[in-house]
Amino acid sequence: MPSAQPQLPTLGVNGDRLAASLHESCQFGADHRYGKLSTETGMARLSLDDSDKAVRDWFLSKAKSLGCSTSIDEMGNLFAIRRGKNPNAPPIMMGSHLDTQPTGGRYDGILGVLAGLEVLQVLEENKVETEGAIGVVNWTNEEGARFPKMAVSSGVWAGAVPIEDAWHLEEVTPHEGKAKTMLQELDRIGYRGSSPASYKSNPFAAHFELHIEQGPILEDEGLKIGVVQGVQAFKWFTITVRGRDSHAGTTPLYARKDAVLVAAQLISAANAVAKTFSGLATTGIFRAEPGTVNTMAHTVTFSLDLRHVSNAVLAEMEAACRAKFDEIAEGTERGCEVGWALLVDSPAVVFHEDCVAAVRESAREVCGGLPGGQGKELWKPMISGAGHDSCYTNLRCPTSMIFTPTREGISHNPTEYCSAEDCALGASVLLGAVLRYDKLRADRGDFQQN
Ligand SMILES: [Zn+2]
């Protein structure tokens, strides 16, 4: 047997222990039972509610039991840090979120935080002395489900969202009378910390996020790990089609300005354009006015979500849609007017090559040890279709992500599932990536004092 290198021990996580602690943490906010096993429920742990307070208490006591120092910032972000040989250098952080959708599952976000704790436990029990500190962060309100801005607290940390805007976000669904703000709820549950929520006073050396894929690709291709290169670009628009309302029985087809008919063709055309560019186009909201059976609509508004991995191709897709929409609107019967309003412009995120390389090498090693992993790579490079806290951390420190398979690609649903074995593989890749990055820092002299 080759002996493990002292600088980079070959360690694996304890999969049973990871699964047990993940489900233990899910006692807080478990909901939506779908099967007989105790773990066959979904989650309804909305940010800063009582169950979120309970899991935060649980997280901090668990981190303290591992010998970590803990802190809380003004957005309620929780940090648990395990010392390294160079305690004054910024830590490598493993981060994700413990909040869920109202009809959420047990893995989205939760896996990333619990895997981080498991990594710290493995380091602790193997008495591994890392060069720099290694920590775990739980980001507040990533889902944007209760307070309607996703990843808002990593956004504040990154300086991309003003803290006053974040604090004054009101809950989407008020429970007892008036809608409460994030600030009120942070204070109510005792989780408005004293340290500033900022990368300036609380810098990271790097941020690694393990997350379920939330799509079907790994499962469909029989793969185990996604080495995430970045996040695709997206733009959201509200499209308004203006025609003319008139009587359904007395207006011949040639004399119509039928906004619904035009809108239907636009949606279909956007889909066709997306297909030619290998992108995505989605309409999730559609409203017709005045909305009666025997009158054609004078106005239709619908949402259009366009996505592509490349900013440049997304721009081409948008231009192609605009040209096609004009052509359709002018060419249909007596014509309609089409207006575009931009709601969100989120450019593509490209993760840091050093972090991506650390994940890739770790995935290669972990997957190479699996049955069937010798002749065939069981991992592949991927682009994330969804946004994550890592998009914001990537603005301020080298960042990357690791994906695990997701049963039938379903998430934001109580039946969301990633097997205990796959969770453990993901956590082992996380462990290997963090140790590789720690070694890289030492090798390139991050800790040398002038
Ligand atoms: Zn998530």
Measured in angstroms, how far is the CA atom of residue 115 from the centroid of ligand 1?
14
Give, as one character, the DSSP assignment of residue 179.
P
What pLDDT is stored for residue 2 in this prediction? 45
What pLDDT is stored for residue 48 in this prediction? 98
Measured in angstroms, how far is the CA atom of residue 97 from the centroid of ligand 1?
7
Degrees (nearest 5) of the Cα angle 191, 195, 199?
115
The residues near 96 (Cβ < 8 Å, ≥ 6 apart) are 109, 110, 111, 112, 113, 116, 138, 139, 142, 209, 210, 211, 388, 389
Tokens of 261: 């008919």
The pTM (predicted TM-score) of the whole model is 0.89
What pLDDT is stored for residue 59 in this prediction? 98
Fold assignment, 15-232+348-444:
Aminopeptidase (3.40.630)
Measured in angstroms, how far is the CA atom of residue 303 from the centroid of ligand 1?
23
Measured in angstroms, how far is the CA atom of residue 2 from the centroid of ligand 1?
39
Tokens of 121: 């436990």
What pLDDT is stored for residue 8 in this prediction? 54
Residue-range domain boundaries for the chain: 15-232+348-444, 233-346
Measured in angstroms, how far is the CA atom of residue 99 from the centroid of ligand 1?
9
Chain segment 130-152, per-residue pLDDT in tens: 999 999 999 999 999 999 999 99
Tokens of 19: 């699964």
Note the CATH number of domain 233-346: 3.30.70.360
What pLDDT is stored for residue 344 in this prediction? 85
Measured in angstroms, how far is the CA atom of residue 101 from the centroid of ligand 1?
9
Measured in angstroms, how far is the CA atom of residue 335 from the centroid of ligand 1?
44
Measured in angstroms, how far is the CA atom of residue 20 from the centroid of ligand 1?
20
Tokens of 389: 């806290």
- Write out the DSSP string of 94-145: EEE-----TTB-SSTTHHHHHHHHHHHHHHHHTT---SS-EEEEE-TT-S-S
SS3 262: helix
Q: Please say whether the dihedral angle defined by the alpha carbons of residues 150, 107, 110 and 393, taken in this order, is positive or negative.
A: negative
Q: Please say whether the dihedral angle defined by the alpha carbons of residues 211, 140, 201 and 60, taken in this order, is positive or negative.
A: negative
Task: Say if CB 208 and CB 357 are below 8 A apart.
Answer: no
Measured in angstroms, how far is the CA atom of residue 48 from the centroid of ligand 1?
16
SS3 295: strand
Measured in angstroms, how far is the CA atom of residue 426 from the centroid of ligand 1?
15
Measured in angstroms, how far is the CA atom of residue 248 from the centroid of ligand 1?
47
How far apart are the C-alpha atoms of 429 and 370, rounded to whole Å? 13
Q: Quick one: which of 180, 175, 91, 115 has its CA closest to 141?
A: 180
Measured in angstroms, how far is the CA atom of residue 259 from the centroid of ligand 1?
38
The tens place of each residue's pLDDT in the chain, 450 residues long, gives 444 444 455 788 999 999 999 999 999 999 999 999 999 999 999 999 999 999 999 999 999 999 999 999 999 999 999 999 998 999 999 999 999 999 999 999 999 999 999 999 999 999 999 999 999 999 999 999 999 999 999 999 999 999 999 999 999 988 778 999 999 999 999 999 999 999 999 999 999 999 999 999 999 999 999 999 999 999 999 999 999 999 999 999 999 999 999 999 999 999 999 999 999 999 999 999 999 999 999 999 999 999 999 999 999 999 999 999 999 998 877 789 999 999 888 899 999 999 999 999 999 999 998 988 777 899 999 999 999 999 999 999 999 999 999 999 999 999 999 999 999 999 999 999 999 999 999 999 999 874
Q: Which residues does residue 200 pair with via DSSP β-bridges, in sequence order?
A: none
Measured in angstroms, how far is the CA atom of residue 284 from the centroid of ligand 1?
21
Measured in angstroms, how far is the CA atom of residue 17 from the centroid of ligand 1?
22
